[in-house]
A and B are shown apart, each in its own frame.
Chain A
Amino acid sequence: MVTVRLWGSLAELVDGKREIEITATNLRELLEGLGEAYPALKPQISRGVSVAIDGRIYNDTWATPINETSEVVLLNRLVGG
């Protein structure tokens, strides 16, 4: 199981839980698992999220590995200028 930390307003959609656990070994499994286990998160996941894994930020690469000890933090999808 991977512990996923949610930002505050996202946590409000899952009964205030700031951390949730998901079975995932990579980014694709993580995003799919979040949407299935917590349908309230689906709209935001569809709009796009970034995921910080052990302090580095990833957006799309499904195969990005995630370990049970990884720090996984969901973030708003980042944009830049």
Chain B
Amino acid sequence: MPKDEFTPRTFSVVGTRPLRPDGIDKVTGRARYGADISAPGMLTGMVLRSPHAHARICSIDTSVAAAMPGVKAVITRADFPVHPENNGTADVLDNCMADKKALYDGHAVAAVAASSRRAALDALATIKVVYEVLPHVLDVDEAMKLDAPILHKGRKQEGVPADVSDNVLTRTEYGHGDPEIGFQMADLVIERQFKTAATHQGYIEPHSCLATLGSDGQGDLWVCTQGHYMARNTCAEILGLDSGCLRVTPSEIGGGFGGKTTVFLEPTALLLSQKSGRPVKMTMTREEVFRASGPTASTSIDIKIGMTKDGTITAAKGDYRYQNGAYEAMNGTLGAMTGFAPYDLDHVNTVGWDVVTNRPKAAAYRAPGAPMAAFAVESVIDELAYKLGLDPIEVRLKNAAREGTKSAYGPTYPAIGLEATLKAAKSHPHWSAPLGENQGRGVACGFWFNFGGDTCVSLMVNPDGTVSLSEGNPDIGGSRAAMSMMAAEELGIPMERVRTIIADTAALGQNEVTDGSRVTFAVGLATIKAARHAIQIMVERAAMTWGIDPEAVEWVDGAAQPAGPNAGKHPPMSLAEIAAIASNTGGPISGHFEVNAEGAGVSFGTHIADTEVDPETGAVKIIRYTVFQDAGKAVHPSFVEGQLQGGAVQGIGWALNEEYIYGKDGTLQNAGFLDYRIPVASDLPMIDTAILEIPNPGHPYGVRGVGETGIVPPLAAVANSVSRAAGVRMTSLPMSPPKVLAALKKM
């Protein structure tokens, strides 16, 4: 994309807070989520899952199940028709249905489609799987040892040294300068190790889909997903289908946060449908969501930072070891790239390790890999500031990356907003508010890349002057409202005259998954361009009606009007008037834009957290919390605030309570919301937000993605706050009451 897309302007719709167009559907129950979709003759599909963390599958006998009343299809991995050549897709297939080994507790090994849930459950109980139980490994540092149980052989990528096990798939190094020289220049050097637990996105809606697939290879899939084009392409590759023969329609989505950027049930449902000749619906239980979808990586991180007495960081090193579950992922790499990204450093070195273990494959969780890295880096910066008697915001301002800074991951930054968030935090009343007994205040910064990707938008001008807009990304953060607002802004009509829908895969070209904080940036850009395309056509129609050149017509306030002294005198023609005579002037009017929207702007945020620690129990209470983030331009500020609040709350849960707990046998012990505790409203104060607007030069309105950065700082902000309240540095998440109490007793 051109780097000078942004043009300063005054907005009439963008920046306001209209009611969300999907609000009534959602509060009345009319919105249809994945499990709300049904079809005549539909069967229930269910999955048999491994009870072992690591086991060789010696045999599977499905004969009894297949003969049971009501059972219409039974499949195992042997029924899948192709082995994808692409390693990534092959891993997705193996994660959907185990082949020779079960790699984690909950790994699918067989599936049944039956006329009822009861019949399916009864059939699953008769399937005989003979396992040879193998040693397992769950911890990243243990998995890297040469004598660790090995999940896959021969998957080490170039650059991984010989003195670590085959569980280490990638090693990535970034940085510049020579940290050893920098450490010699420091007045104080602190080196610490940090641990974080695996957590789950905790989306309200479990994975669900309804599949039909005929013997002719024609199919339909209705699915709760962050990317229906991804679902189509992946299922087609796994099942050997032509992607054009598979139409995928996304349902409403009850949260994703990165956890619905891949497929888990969909290929199985399609195959069961093809084998049974009936539609098949599959819905995960909450236990299945925990055991067999995609949580985050757990980590072990070493950070070393040197600082002078005036607060200048002289050198920084990070070693980021992430376990990504049973298959390749790049959370450790992203941790290594993002940890020091907020700072202007002469000497920095980071190494990221991506390691497999006997856990479900890690998925993204907003900014994948970044929150854990920020926790470790920001904790050491806080400790340095504390021990040197410096203000922690001033220290960050002193070292903050700015336009022209060579980032820790390589590129030189264009205009960025970190400094603005820090200054806003420093001047906010929260920063100077008094604290009570056993209370502490923490601050932390965070960074995320954001990106764009393939995007298509169609905008139809209807005969009555209303506008229908189709986008290809599930509405996960209010995008229908945001797109309607941007289209209305360009067209010069009220937002209520534009209805945005999410089109299926047969209606628009390829669209990237709803991830990377991309939708308001990329789909918004395409919406603006599609509206401008329609305006161009409407200007031509008006010019034709008036008998003048299109160049002599301009679009102002929702109407075509003559421009210039030679255009003649004609009353303006509104969008509705041009639409009404479209059949007379050439036919229907629509605008389109298809693009790979590259060049998204990076994003920074700063969070302040106040906590109170109960010295008797170790329980931590969030007293006050404020988020400062650069949004470029907030299209609908309420949605932006919601994203910032949501990220903060999820980060607070990650910091204080949430954790995958495994038994000695490698099985998950807390696969439910009673034992895996996410924060609820009564746990939290109102999360305050401050939106900064430093325009992204790569977007016509200056928009930056906002969905992911909000989860990056809170782990560290809360840890810094608790550490100051408790008087002891907390280095392991979650900071659950027993852990805090133990730390207090060690003082």
Binding site for B on A (CB under 8 A): 5, 7-10, 12-13, 40, 43-44, 47, 52, 54-61, 64, 71, 73-81
Contacts and interface: CB of A to CB of B under 8 A. Distances in A.
Nearest to B296: A81
Contacts of B158: 13, 40, 43-44
Contacts of B259: 81
Given A8-B175, A9-B159, A80 B516 contact: yes
Contacts of B516: 78-81
* Centre residue among A10, A43, A80 by max chain B CB count within 10 A: A80
Interface in B162-202: 171-175
Nearest to B331: A79
B517 A80 contact: yes
B450 A80 contact: yes
Interface in B243-271: 257-259, 261
Contacts of B409: 7, 75
A44 B173 CA distance: 14
B159 A56 contact: no
Given A13-B159, A80-B364, A81-B261, A56 B414 contact: yes
Contacts of A12: 159, 173
Given A64-B598, A75-B410, A80 B333 contact: no
B139 interface: no
A19 B516 CA distance: 28
Given A8-B172, A52-B411, A60-B596, 7 more contacts: A10-B159, A56-B414, A57-B451, A57-B600, A59-B598, A76-B333, A76-B334
B366 A81 contact: yes
B407 to A, nearest CB: 9
Given A43-B157, A61-B596, A9 B173 contact: yes
Contacts of A81: 257-259, 261, 363-368, 515-516, 708
Given A56-B599, A75-B337, A80 B410 contact: no
A40 B157 CA distance: 12
Q: Is the interface of A mostly helix, strand, loop or mixed?
A: mixed
B316 to A, nearest CB: 14
B515 A79 contact: yes
Nearest to B157: A43
B538 to A, nearest CB: 30
A10 B366 CA distance: 27
B3 interface: yes
Interface in B151-165: 157-159
Contacts of B257: 81
Contacts of A76: 172, 330, 333-334, 337
B598 A58 contact: yes
B411 A73 contact: yes
A52 B3 contact: no
Contact of A57 (B157, B261, B366, B449): B449
Nearest to A6: B410
Interface residues of B, number: 47
A79 B3 contact: no
Given A57-B599, A73-B411, A9 B451 contact: no
Given A54-B3, A56-B3, A57-B599, A79 B368 contact: yes
A54 B518 CA distance: 20
B698 A80 contact: no
B412 interface: yes
Contacts of B386: none
Contacts of A44: 157-158
Nearest to B454: A60
B411 A80 contact: no
Nearest to B349: A8
Contacts of B673: none
A80 B258 contact: yes
Contact of B174 (A7, A43, A78): A7
A9 B411 contact: no
B413 interface: yes
A60 B351 CA distance: 26
A58 B2 CA distance: 12
A7 B410 contact: yes
B453 interface: yes
23 contacts: A8-B175, A9-B172, A9-B173, A13-B158, A13-B159, A44-B157, A52-B410, A56-B414, A57-B411, A57-B599, A60-B596, A60-B598, A61-B596, A71-B412, A73-B411, A76-B337, A79-B334, A79-B364, A79-B516, A80-B450, A80-B515, A81-B261, A81-B515
Nearest to A55: B414
A9 B366 CA distance: 26
Contacts of B367: 80-81
A26 B515 CA distance: 27
Nearest to B174: A7
Contacts of B518: 80
Nearest to A13: B158
B598 A7 contact: no
A80 B368 contact: yes
A8 B330 CA distance: 16
B598 A61 contact: yes
Given A43-B158, A56-B698, A76-B333, A8 B173 contact: yes
Nearest to A52: B411
Contacts of B334: 76, 78-79
A43 B155 CA distance: 13
B451 A80 contact: yes
Interface string B313-351: 000000000000000001001100100000000000101
A54 to B, nearest CB: 7
A58 B698 CA distance: 12
A18 to B, nearest CB: 8
Contacts of A77: 330
Contacts of B450: 80
Contacts of A43: 157-158
A74 B701 CA distance: 28
A8 B159 CA distance: 10
